A and B are shown apart, each in its own frame.
Chain A
Amino acid sequence: MVDLSPARQPREADARPVPFRGGGFAPGRNRWAGLVVFVALIAFFEVGTRTGVISSLTMPPPSAVAQTLWRLVETGLLWQNLGPSLYRLAMGSLVGCGAGILVGFAIGLFTLARAGLVPLVSALFPIPKIALLPLFVIWFGIGEGSKVALIAFGTFTPTVVATFGAVDGVDRGLIRMAQSFGVPWLRIVTRVVLPDALAGILSGLRVSLAIGIVLLVAAEMLGARYGIGAYILEAGALYDLERLFAGVVILSVLGLLVSAGIGALERRLLRWRG
């Protein structure tokens, strides 16, 4: 027998627990932290404006903004403005993200598409899309067309870049495996490439849709009768801070909803990652 007992018996007092050094680097879910941040911020401004620490000229009390929002709902003005905005955002990002995903896949899968389109996308990406609005007005008319086109164009480029990056990152070993089992090309794309690229595509969509909202407002500010952007512009022109903030709140909520929607999609579609 090998003797494994220590040569010298240390005293019990020398014993100490191994310090824990793991943990972290794995942010979990917490529904409440986000809410607390919002509530705290709102409470801060409410108290600030009521006590006069924050001048009501610079910042309306949140309660007044809430009242304005409620009036918007009651008078039906909310829908009158939100409806067209949602339509533009939905159409624009559907076209832009849809085309972006298709082009991204083409770039990720075909030599010719990659060689031909990557330089083009790189050239289009840095163009401030809002600068092209007059051009779009000439091309697509002053109505809905130009606004939808602007959003479509603005969401297109980031979606392309995210998608082809994700397709590039697909595990080649899995593609080889599928080929070795004689799985047809299209099936490999839909059942290997797509699921493996999905995480990257969804995180790209987050960015694209946020850009879409920014462009939506910009387009509506430049010419629209109804729409959240038009509403904010009008309020701003009159220095009606309560209405201006009401519009901003609506945009923030829109952003939150989009982000939550993608989050839900991720949790559903990427369940396998655990």
Chain B
Amino acid sequence: MDIRVRHASHAYGGLAVLSDIDLVAPAGKILCLVGPSGCGKSTLLRLMGGLERPTSGAIELVGAPPSGCLNELTFVFQHFALLPWASVEGNVRFVLDHHRLSEAERAEIVADVLARTGLADFAEAWPRQLSGGMRQRVAIARALAVRPAVLLMDEPLSALDSQTREILMEDLVGLWTRAPFTAVYVTHNLAEAVRLGHAVAVMSRRPGRIREIVAIDTPLSERRPDDPELERVQARLWSLLRDEAIDADRELVDG
């Protein structure tokens, strides 16, 4: 299922945050979204996920969701958003409980996603007992449990240290390679964008527009951290972002 943003603009009060965004996240691909701080990436993601309505324009879903899909548009949050009073398993079950499923189906889904994210041994643990990386794995397991049509990920790795981030990136690549999912992936980290994105959309500073969309053809599973092709793309992304970032930074200082 594709998700399509058509001429969407958004403003908070008088503050124009997004201006005439036209964007397609194609099915089975990861679309990364980069842009200077405050350019409206999180806002765009919330619009795509139906948590807010655009001031003008439209967000459309094109095509049928995958079979067995329980929640088409599913978020993975930067700060995990786990229920602290529920165990790892309880957190996954929380998003399944209101669906019409037999207990056997539920148990099967929970066991499956915990196994896929390497959490099978931690089903009974409380979130506070887990490291940041493990917590985000729980959030990813929870998102996978509802068989999403589109995963909306807002800086899912930026609360983690760089080693954990590297490992989780590999996990995401592994998850995608085994069962391709559609994702919109917001990040500040260009290395992350070129490792995970089939395409990277670069946004301008506020009010955010799509400045350019850079496609990366190397298959995800063949990308290496020191791949010269990826480094070239990353340098290009940085040159696109640099001026915007400098201006955005100055704007905040002056404002």
Hey, which bits of chain A sit against chain B, CB under 8 A? 173-174, 176-184, 187, 191-192, 195-196, 270, 272-274
Contacts of B84 in A (CB 8 A): 272-273
CA A78 to CA B4, docked complex, whole Å = 75
Contacts of A191 in B (CB 8 A): 83, 94
Check A274 against B97 for contact (C-beta < 8 Å).
no
B236 at the interface (CB under 8 A from A): no
CA A83 to CA B77, docked complex, whole Å = 54
Check A184 against B98 for contact (C-beta < 8 Å).
yes
B125-141 contacts to A (CB < 8 Å): 126, 128
The contact sample of 14 A-B pairs, CB cut-off 8 A, is A174-B83, A177-B75, A177-B81, A180-B49, A180-B74, A180-B75, A181-B71, A181-B95, A182-B70, A192-B83, A270-B85, A272-B84, A272-B85, A272-B86
Contacts of B74 in A (CB 8 A): 180-181
CB closest residue in chain A, given B87: A272
Check A183 against B85 for contact (C-beta < 8 Å).
no
Describe A's contact surface by its main secondary structure: helix
Distance in angstroms from A191 CB to nearest chain B CB is 7
Contacts A195-B83, A274-B126 known; A183 to B73 CB distance under 8 Å? Answer: no
Distance in angstroms from B141 CB to nearest chain A CB is 13
Contacts A181-B146, A272-B126 known; A173 to B98 CB distance under 8 Å? Answer: no
Contacts A177-B77, A272-B126, A274-B128 known; A182 to B98 CB distance under 8 Å? Answer: yes
CA A174 to CA B142, docked complex, whole Å = 14
Distance in angstroms from A190 CB to nearest chain B CB is 11
CA A273 to CA B127, docked complex, whole Å = 10
B51 at the interface (CB under 8 A from A): yes
Distance in angstroms from A265 CB to nearest chain B CB is 14
B165 at the interface (CB under 8 A from A): no
The 6 residue pairs across chains A and B that have the minimum distance between CB atoms: A177-B81, A272-B85, A181-B95, A180-B75, A195-B85, A173-B81
B188 at the interface (CB under 8 A from A): no
Check A174 against B81 for contact (C-beta < 8 Å).
yes
CA A270 to CA B83, docked complex, whole Å = 13
B116 at the interface (CB under 8 A from A): no
Contacts of A273 in B (CB 8 A): 84, 128
B53 at the interface (CB under 8 A from A): no
